[in-house]
Amino acid sequence: MGKFVYLFHEGQGDMKELLGGKGANLAEMTNIGLPVPYGFTITTEACNAYYESGKAIPSVVEQQTIEALNRLEEKMEKKLGDPENPLLVSVRSGSVFSMPGMMDTILNLGMNDETVVGMAKLTNNPRFAYDSYRRFIQMFSNVVLEIDTYYFEQLLEETREQKGYSSDPELTAEDWKEVIVGYKEIVKKHTKKAFPQDPKEQLFLAINAVFNSWNNQRAIIYRRLNKIPDHLGTAVNIQSMVFGNMGNDSGTGVAFTRNPSTGESVLYGEYLINAQGEDVVAGIRTPQPIATLQEEMPEVYKQFTETCHQLEQHYQEMQDIEFTVERGKLFILQTRNGKRTAQAAIRIAVEMEQEGIIDKKTALLRVDPDQLNQLLHRRIDDSIAKEILAKGLPASPGAATGQVVFDADEAEQLASQGQKVILVRPETTPDDIHGIVTSQAIVTSRGGMTSHAAVVARGMGKACICGCEALKIDLKAKQFMVGETVVNYGEIITIDGSTGEIILGEVPMIDPELSDEFLQLLTWADEERQMNVRANADTPEDAKKSFEFGAEGIGLCRTEHMFMDSKRIPIVQEMILAENFNERKAALEQLLPMQQSDFEGIFEAMQGYPVTVRLLDPPLHEFLPNKEELLVEVTKLQILDPQSKELKEKEQLLKKVRQLDEHNPMLGLRGCRLGMMYPEIYEMQAKAIFYAAAKLVEKGMAVQPEIMIPLVGHVNELKEMRQLVIDAANHIQEETGQTVAYTIGTMIEIPRAVLTADEIAVEADFFSFGTNDLTQTTFGYSRDDAEGKFLQAYIENKVLPENPFAVLDQNGVGKLVETGVKLGRATKAKLKTGVCGEHGGEKSSVEFFYKTGLDYVSCSPYRVPLARLAAAQASIRFNKEEM
C-alpha cells in the first residue's frame, strides 16, 4: 500500500513531483522552522489514482486522509466539526508547476450551523463568524458545487439595498444570518440538496473538486500554452486556518522579497487589515503597500522582514510570499519563487551574485534567454509631448498600441483577423486567458500588482496596466470614460506598462536601452560560452545593430535583399530580361558599384570580424512582377491600346516570366544553380565583395570576407563556383594591388550535401548549416506553405511537438547536422562550422548546436543577446552533465 498523504513535517522541499510545488514548499518551510499553519498534503499520485478509479477517491487515500486529519486535530488541539472548539481548514490545489487560477482556494472548510456558533463564542466576534460562514458557503458552492457566484452576489446586493447599506462591513451578525438563510436556499434550488453540514463530507467533496480541477478547461489551456504534460496530476493541500479578519490587529497580504517589476531589492507587496486572503488577490478592496505595515504593526513588520531575508538565503531565490497576521501573530501561508519581468529577472540574478547569495553560473542559468527578447521591446518616446488620459499601476513593462476591446472572445476574434487589440476589463479571470494571449496588452480598472491580469501578463512578457481606477468601464455600452472623455470599442489607444500611462491614439516609440545589469549578465555569458555568436544582417544598418548587440561577425549576409531596393529592382529586371550575355553584363555592371558600397558599409560596421556573404540564392522570378497581374495588364492593353509600345514591353516581360515560371521554385533554379547557369551574376557579386574589401584594406582597416555558395548538392557545383570566386579575387588583386585574405565555403542545406559532406569539405573552407532549407528538404515541407496549410494543425494535434521551422527537429534534421559535421571534419579536422537558419536564435536549438560541436550560431540581430546567453547556458549545463 503506497503512501498517499504526507503531514507537512514528513515531506521535503525536493518532493515537488509528488507533493506539488506548494506542498513541497510547505514541507520545507515547516522543516526550517518558519511560522507555517500546520497541515498535510495528498499527493499527485492520489490524483492519478483518483482518475484510474474512474473519478473516485480510492479507499486507501480516504483512510490515510482521515488518519492525517486526526494527527492535525491533535496538533492543533481542535476538532473538525467540534461545536466548542472547531478546527477549520483551507483546501488548495497544487501541481508540480505553478498554474495560476487553476482552482480557487477554499477557506474556512469545517463551518456549519454548529461550528459557526462556536467560532462566534471563541472569537467573541459573531459578526466575523457569520461573515466567514457565508463566505465559505459562497466559495464552496462556487468551486465545489459549481453554482455561479452571481446568484450569491445578487442576493447580497439586494440585502444591502434593502437595508440601505453601501458596503459589506455595514452588515451585522444578524444581517449575515439572514444572508446565510438565503444562500442555503440558493444551494437547495441549484443542487436539490441541502448545503452539506458534515465537515468530513465537505472535506472529501473539496478533495474531489481539486482533482477534477486538473482537467477543467482553463487548466487544459494553461498546460497547452506552457507545455506542461497532462499526466502530472495535482496534489491537495489541507492546512489549518488562521484568520486575518479578527479585527484591526489582524490582516493578510502578499509580498515579494524584491520588486518583481524592476528587480530592485526592496520588499514589495500589499496587504489589507482585517481581511481574508482572497480579498487581496481578488482586487476588490484596494490594498495598502507593504511599507505602511512598518507604521501599523512595527513588531510584525520586523519579524516579516527577517523571515523574508531567511527565506531568500534558504531558497537562494526571490520569493513570493502569502502571509496572515492573526491577532498580532505572523503566519507564513505560502512561499514560492516569484514570477518576475525580464528586467527584474536580470537585475535580481546579477545583484544576488553581487550579494554573494549565488554564483555567476547560477545567475546565468536564472534568466530565460527568451526573456532577454522582452527587454529589446520598444517603449514610448518620452521626448514627444503626449496627453496622458489616465494612469494605473505599471504591472508589466513594454508599450503597445491597439484597438480597445472589452471582452476576451472579441479580442481573440479580432486578433485572428490580424488586428492589434488591447483588452480593457474591470479585472481579468482565468477564463479570459484566450483574450489575454491574443491581445497586445491588458488594462484593468481594478486589482493590484498581484492580481490575475498582472501575474499572467508578466509571465507572458505582455504590457499590462492594473488598478486604473480612473477608468469607468461600461461593458454593456462597450466604452470607458475618464472624466468627460469617452473611449469607444475599436478606438486606438497606446499604453506603457512601465509607467502605467494610457494615451489616446498612436504614439511614437523608441528602441530600448540596455541596463547595466543586462550588459553585466551578457559579459558573464561571454566569459562562460565557448560558441561564437554571429548575426544575420543584410545591410550596413543591420550590421551596426548586430555589432551593438555583441555579434562577433556576420554569419549570413543575404545579398538578394540588396537587390530588392526600389532603385535597383529595374536594373535587376534588366539583368534577368537580358536577351544575351552582353545585355546581362551591362546590367550587372550597373549593379556592381551598388553592391560594392553595401559591402563596404557592412565590412566597416563589423570592424574586422568575419563577414559571410552568400551569393545570390532565390529563384529569379522573385524579382519579376506577378504572372497573373501581368496577364491581366497585357489583356487590357490588347483591347484598349493594341499598337502601344507599352503592350510590346509587357508582352516581352510576360514571355520571360513564363519562361522562368517553375512548379516548385524552391526546388528549382535557385542557389548555386543560378551561378552555374549565369556565372556572370556570381562573378559580379564576387568582384563587388573584393573591390569593397580592397578599398578598406587600402585604408588600413581589417576585413575578413567569407564567400558562401548556397544550396550545394554535389561537390562539382562547389568546385566550379569556388574557382569562379578565386578567379575574381585574383583579378581584383591584380587590378587594385591589394591583398585580401578570404575564405570560400558552402551552405549545407540539402540532404545530399550532408551525406557527401566529406567530399564537399575538400572544396570548402567552412560549412554553414542552412537549417531552414534543410528542414524544408528533410521533412519535404514547403517552407512557404506548410505553416499556413497543415503545420498548425500538426502542432495542435501533437503530431509534431514543435514547429520544426522555429525549433530544430533534433531527431531528424539534427541528426543530419551531426552527420554533416562529422563527415566534414573527417576530411578537414579543423573545418569551421556554423548555423545560419532561424534555429540559430532559438535556445534549445542553440544548446543542440553547442553539443554538436559547431563553432558559431548566427541569428537575427535582436536575437543575438538571447543566443549569447543560451550559448553560455549550454556550456554550463553540458559541462555539468559531463562532470
* Residue 731 CA to its chain's centroid (Å): 52
Residue 556 binds what, of ligand PEP, Mg ion, none (CB under 5 to 8 Å, by partner type)? Answer: ligand PEP
Residue 725 CB, shortest distance to ligand PEP, in Å, is 19
Q: Where are the beta strands (DSSP E) in 59-140?
A: 79-80, 86-87, 89-95, 106-109
Name the nearest CA neighbour of 121 among 178, 90, 82.
82
Three-class SS state of 270: strand
Among 107, 346, 380, 556, binds ligand PEP (CB under 6 A): 556
Check residue 717 for interaction with ligand PEP (CB under 6 A): no
In the complex with Mg ion, which residue's Cβ is closer, 383 or 664? 664
- Does 326 help bind ligand PEP (rule: CB under 6 A)? no
User: Which amino acid would we find at residue 499?
Assistant: T
Any idea what the Cα angle at residue 137 is, between residues 131 and 142, rounded to 5°? 130
Nearest distance in Å: CB 854, Mg ion: 17
- Enumerate residues 772-791 that contact ligand PEP by CB under 6 A: 772-773
By CB under 6 A, is residue 413 in contact with ligand PEP? no
Cβ 805 to Mg ion shortest distance, Å: 12
CA gap 488, 278 in Å, rounded: 32
Sheet holding 39-42, edge to edge: 5-7, 39-42, 234-240, 89-95, 106-109
Residue nearer to ligand PEP on the CB measure, 294 or 844: 844
Least distance (Å) from Mg ion to the CB of residue 536?
Answer: 11
Residues 24-63 that bind Mg ion (CB under 5 A): none
Residues 704-763 that bind Mg ion (CB under 5 A): 749
Residue 837 contact among ligand PEP, Mg ion, none, beta carbon within 5 to 8 Å by kind: ligand PEP
CA distances from 263 to 267, 341, 459, 517 (A): 10, 8, 15, 10
Among 501, 617, 717, 842, the residue binding ligand PEP under the rule CB under 6 A is 617
CA distances from 89 to 102, 325, 596 (A): 19, 16, 76
Return d(Cα 873, Cα 875) in angstroms, integer.
5
Stretch that binds ligand PEP, among 309-317, 372-380, 401-409, 771-779 (CB under 6 A): 771-779
Quick check: 278 and 411 in contact, CB under 8 A? Answer: no
Instruction: Tell me if 770 contacts ligand PEP by CB under 6 A.
Output: yes
DSSP state of 616: P
Residue 206 or residue 620: which is nearer to Mg ion going by CB?
620
Stretch that binds ligand PEP, among 43-51, 333-341, 344-352, 769-777 (CB under 6 A): 769-777
User: Nearest distance from residue 378's CB to Mg ion, in Å?
Assistant: 30
Per-residue contact flags (x/-) with ligand PEP for residues 567 to 606, judged by CB under 6 A: ----------------------------------------
Nearer to ligand PEP, 269 or 837 (CB): 837
Q: Which window, 361-369, 498-506, 565-573, 768-776, contacts ligand PEP (CB under 6 A)?
A: 768-776
- Paired with 137 in beta bridges are none
834 contacts ligand PEP (rule: CB under 6 A):
no
Question: Does the active-site annotation cover 672?
Answer: no
Strands of the sheet containing 485-488, edge to edge, are 472-474, 479-482, 485-488
By CB under 6 A, residue 803 contacts ligand PEP: no
Among 771, 833, 860, 875, binds ligand PEP (CB under 6 A): 771
The entry of ligand PEP, Mg ion, none that residue 836 binds, CB within 5 to 8 Å by partner kind: ligand PEP
* Closest of 869, 552, 839 to residue 543, by C-alpha: 552
- CA distance readout (Å), 515 to 216, 344, 350, 508: 41, 11, 11, 22
Which is closer to ligand PEP, CB of 528 or CB of 749? 749
Question: With CB cut-offs between 5 and 8 Å by kind, which of Mg ion, ligand PEP, none does residue 809 bind?
Answer: none
Which parts of 252-271 interact with ligand PEP (CB under 6 A)? none
Could you tell me the smallest distance in angstroms from the CB atom of residue 708 to ligand PEP? 10
Nearer to ligand PEP, 24 or 557 (CB): 557
- By CB under 6 A, residue 836 contacts ligand PEP: yes
Q: How many residues bind ligand PEP (CB under 6 A)?
A: 10
Q: Catalytic one among 452, 464, 672, 839?
A: 452
CA distances in angstroms from 230 to 49, 212, 219, 795, 801, listed in the order given: 14, 13, 10, 16, 14
The set of cell numbers assigned to 573 is: 529586371
Site for Mg ion contains 838 (CB under 5 A):
no
Q: What is the CA radius of gyration of the chain?
A: 33
The residue within the footprint of ligand PEP, chosen from 558, 687, 722, 843 (CB under 6 A), is 558
Could you say which residues in the range 436-465 bind ligand PEP, by CB under 6 A?
none
What the block records as the C-alpha cell of 240 is 489549518
Three-state secondary-structure class, residue 94: strand
595 Rama class: left (phi>0) / alpha (psi -120 to 50) / beta: alpha
Nearer Cβ to ligand PEP (429/772): 772
Three-state secondary-structure class, residue 200: helix
CA 103, 104, 109: angle at the middle one, nearest 5?
115
Q: Which stretch binds ligand PEP (CB under 6 A): 129-137, 157-165, 247-255, 766-774?
A: 766-774
Nearer to ligand PEP, 556 or 707 (CB): 556
Q: How far apart are CA 69 and CA 80, in angstroms?
A: 9
Reduce the DSSP state of residue 482 to 3 states and report it: strand
Give the footprint of Mg ion on residues 755-814 (CB under 5 A): 770, 773
Burial degree of 797 (CB within 10 A; 0-12, 13-18, 19+): exposed
Q: Which is nearer to Mg ion, 321 or 615 (CB)?
A: 615
Positive/negative CA dihedral, 256, 260, 266, 272: negative
The one segment of 203-211, 270-278, 377-385, 764-772 that binds ligand PEP by CB under 6 A = 764-772
Nearest distance, CB of residue 686 and Mg ion, angstroms: 19
- Minimum CB distance to Mg ion, residue 836 (Å): 8
Residue 512 interacting entry, from Mg ion, ligand PEP, none, C-beta within 5 to 8 Å by type: none
Give the nearer residue to ligand PEP in terms of CB position, either 182 or 668. Answer: 668
- Using CB under 6 A, pick the residue from 287, 837, 841, 865 that binds ligand PEP: 837
* Residue number, 499 or 772, with CB nearest to ligand PEP: 772
Q: Which of 175, 351, 410, 749 binds ligand PEP (CB under 6 A)?
A: 749
Q: Nearest distance from residue 271's CB to ligand PEP, in Å?
A: 53
Restricting to residues 21-80, which ones interact with ligand PEP according to CB under 6 A? none
Residue (693 or 750) nearer to ligand PEP, CB:
750
836 among known catalytic residues: yes
Residue with Cβ nearer ligand PEP (340 or 558): 558
CA count, 13 A, side-chain hemisphere, 537: 31
DSSP class per residue in 671-712: THHHHHH-HHHHHHHHHHHHHHHHHHHHTT---EEEEEE-S-
**Among candidate residues 390, 484, 381, 388, the one with its CA nearest the CA of residue 443:** 390
What CA–CA distance (Å, rounded) separates 482 from 487?
A: 8
553 near Mg ion, judged by CB under 5 A: no
Phi, then psi, of 767 in degrees rounded to 5: -115, 135
Amino acid making up residue 875: S
At a CB cut-off of 8 Å and minimum separation 6, what does 633 contact?
Answer: 650
Query: Which DSSP state fits 787?
Result: I
Interaction partner, residue 771 (Mg ion, ligand PEP, none; CB < 5-8 Å by kind): ligand PEP
- Binding site residues, Mg ion, CB under 5 A: 749, 770, 773
Active-site amino acid positions: 452, 836
- Binding site residues, ligand PEP, CB under 6 A: 556, 558, 617, 749, 770-773, 836-837
